[in-house]
Amino acid sequence: MRAAEVELSVPDGNSVTMLNNVIRVQLGDGEVESVIVTLQDLASLEAQERRHAAFLAMVSHELRPPLNLIKGLTTALLSGSRTFDLNVAPVHPHRRRPRRPYEGADRRPA
């Protein structure tokens, strides 16, 4: 048996996932002289896989906006459009201008 994943239960109720390898050591005539068994705890590999997945999710989330901008500008350039402005700042759709931090601070509720 080679590289079988086995879940072992311990007396306190927890379980541990292990990678189990069994290798037979045979004599020249084919008789089994001994058996070598190795167990490898997979907890560190599973933690590494979770960190890898979290990293990929974060990177894809952070790269989406700039890549969409590049894609949009490239499409506009290739289509021959000359109506885009690179100096436009994004604002909320319901506001005509960006909000200032002090705006409305001097008003008191009635």
pTM for this model (two decimals): 0.46
Structural domain includes residue 16: yes
- Which pLDDT value is given to residue 77? 82
Rounded CA-CA distance 5/1 in Å is 11
Rounded CA-CA distance 83/61 in Å is 29
Residue 15 bridge partners (DSSP): 9
Domain total of the chain? 2
pLDDT in tens, 12-50: 988 888 899 988 888 888 888 898 989 888 888 889 999
Structural domain includes residue 48: yes
- Which pLDDT value is given to residue 44? 87
Q: Residue 3's domain spans which residues? A: 1-41
Structural domain includes residue 98: no
Q: What is the mean pLDDT of residues 71-94?
A: 70
pLDDT in tens, 55-72: 999 999 999 988 988 898
Structural domain includes residue 106: no
Cβ-based neighbour number of residue 40 at 10 Å: 14
Q: What is the mean pLDDT of residues 72-83?
A: 79
